[in-house]
Amino acid sequence: MFRRLLRRGRLTEFGDRYDLRHIRSVERFQSQVETFDYETFKPYIERMMEGVRSVTYPGRVSLFARSSGTTSDRSKYIPVTMESLWWNHTLGMRDVATVFSSNFPKSRVFEGKTLTLGGSCSREGRNLVGDLSALLIHETTFWSGWFRAPRTETAIIPDFDAKVEAICRECVGERITAFAGVPSWNLAMMRRVLEYTGKRNLLEVWPDLEMFAHGGVEFAPYRTTFEELIPSERMKYMETYNASEGFFAMADDPARSDMLLMLDYGTFFEFRNGTQVVPLEGVECGKVYAVLITSNNGLWRYEIGDTVEFTSTNPYRIRFAGRTRQYINVFGEELIVDNAEHALLAACRKTGAVVSEYSVAPCYMSLRERGAHEWIVEFEREPDSRERFAETLDEELRSVNSDYDAKRRTTLERQRLTVVERGTFLAWMRARGKNKVPRLVNDRRVADELATFQAEPAGVEK
């Protein structure tokens, strides 16, 4: 894969600049080509969007996935070449179907349709720009149309409410056997379907439901809600790692909680731990790495902003560990997403709560007060006691993070729990053009926005 990508790169401006034609080894590649994040790679993407040919990939690139991500307020534009469309993203979806069939040979999921909640896309000059899901639906209609719902015209409606209403009218009478997409947006659609039909759960609407292929965010906080909406032992949940930058991994074994890293999808992987960057053969199990990719979409040594932990190196298996910038370390507590997810699930188990969304921010120290973390939480089901929920959350955080525990003895108070109305986070994402909720934020930016947003009655979905 490395050699194949180098051959492509030699035919580009990028290849001339970094003399790719003389690179024969990974070691020389790493010493000769710098690493990039979005801001440093952005000038190449801008030239591609202007119509310049062979900037970082041979020929003209006219598809761009727009992603707000969780680390920047500005939109990011990721090139999507026709090669990456068919031999990365679409190949991944085909392999999901194949793996699912192999694991569950008696499944009848393919006798019905998969309801895919896509985003939207539009023409900007000669380019087609939008959510990756919308680009895939738009460009692969003839291949995917036979097993996907709703119709393309419905799937790419820009307004979310109008899209969901159209899906209700169009799909309630269809034989839907599966869902695919981001859990939070699918939950919003599912609730509307129940309101539209007057049914108690989704099996009363679509009795043949068997599978939800999900990705984009950690699924654990949503699982209980999905199980209540779809009370069926036949229902299977399959995790995928399909980002705007590429399709990277999938859960191939239902008995495991990790994902198989897909090595034949046009991506050469590197991994950063601290300042050290290693190729795939240099990774170790149990370590958390930031992901860098060189890929058939024209990205070179590009750090995508995600972190993963390897659970196996034969074969290579990973689990998603969070975002590179999602942490809180204002007081030296070094709280990471893994800690937060573990503590949250424990608090839910002990108090009967179901949390649909949450975000955590620091509360700064003052002359009279110690610092603290503010947990902004949206409950799908309230705990038996909010005070007990907060106590359990704090106890679990102290047990899994020694730095947090040490700071709780000195500079940190117990976390402050702020409960918002159901629908607040979804409405905030829609208003801000985001697809994901930042879980841990090292400043007050998101927390203050949510506080202001909740105070505006028109901005909150009831």
Based on the fold, state whether residues 279 and 383 are members of the same structural domain: no
Quick check: is 415 in a domain? yes
Based on the fold, state whether residues 350 and 399 are members of the same structural domain: yes
Please report which helix (H) or strand (E) contains residue 385, including its range.
none
Q: What is the mean pLDDT of each run of 10 residues along the chain (462 residues)?
A: 96 97 96 96 97 97 79 72 95 93 94 87 91 87 71 86 93 94 85 94 96 83 86 94 94 94 97 94 94 98 93 95 79 84 93 94 80 94 95 94 84 92 88 83 89 60 38
- Output the six-digit token pair for 187: 């939950």
Quick check: is 39 in a domain? yes
pLDDT at 143: 58
Quick check: is 461 in a domain? no
Query: In terms of C-beta distances under 8 Å and separation of at least 24 residues, what long-range contacts does 393-402 make, across chains too?
Result: 393/343, 393/344, 393/346, 393/347, 393/417, 396/342, 396/343, 396/346, 396/347, 397/335, 397/339, 397/340, 397/343, 400/339, 400/342, 400/343, 401/333, 401/334, 401/335, 401/336, 401/339
Of 291, 324, 357, the position where a domain reaches its end is 324
pTM of the prediction?
Answer: 0.79
pLDDT at 11: 94
Rounded CA gap, 393 and 376, in Å? 13
Based on the fold, state whether residues 56 and 183 are members of the same structural domain: yes
Do residues 85 and 295 lie in contact, with contact meaning Cβ atoms separated by under 8 Å?
Answer: no
Quick check: is 458 in a domain? no
Quick check: is 100 in a domain? yes
Give just the sign of the alpha carbon dihedral 376, 187, 122, 249. positive
Based on the fold, state whether residues 358 and 380 are members of the same structural domain: yes
CATH for 56: 3.40.50.12780
Based on the fold, state whether residues 316 and 334 are members of the same structural domain: no
Task: Work out the burial of residue 310: count CB atoms within 10 Å of its CB; fewer than 13 is exposed, 13-18 middle, 19 or more buried.
Answer: buried
Based on the fold, state whether residues 254 and 333 are members of the same structural domain: no
pLDDT at 36: 97
Based on the fold, state whether residues 256 and 353 are members of the same structural domain: no
Based on the fold, state whether residues 364 and 276 are members of the same structural domain: no
pLDDT at 68: 59
CATH for 368: 3.30.300
Based on the fold, state whether residues 319 and 356 are members of the same structural domain: no
Quick check: is 105 in a domain? yes
Of 303, 324, 345, the position where a domain reaches its end is 324
pLDDT at 77: 93
Site of tokens 């036979």: 146
Based on the fold, state whether residues 235 and 302 are members of the same structural domain: yes
Based on the fold, state whether residues 317 and 346 are members of the same structural domain: no
Quick check: is 462 in a domain? no
Of 324, 357, 378, the position where a domain reaches its end is 324
Quick check: is 274 in a domain? yes
Based on the fold, state whether residues 404 and 255 are members of the same structural domain: no
Say how many domains are in the chain: 2
Domain of residue 312, residue span: 1-324
pLDDT at 462: 34
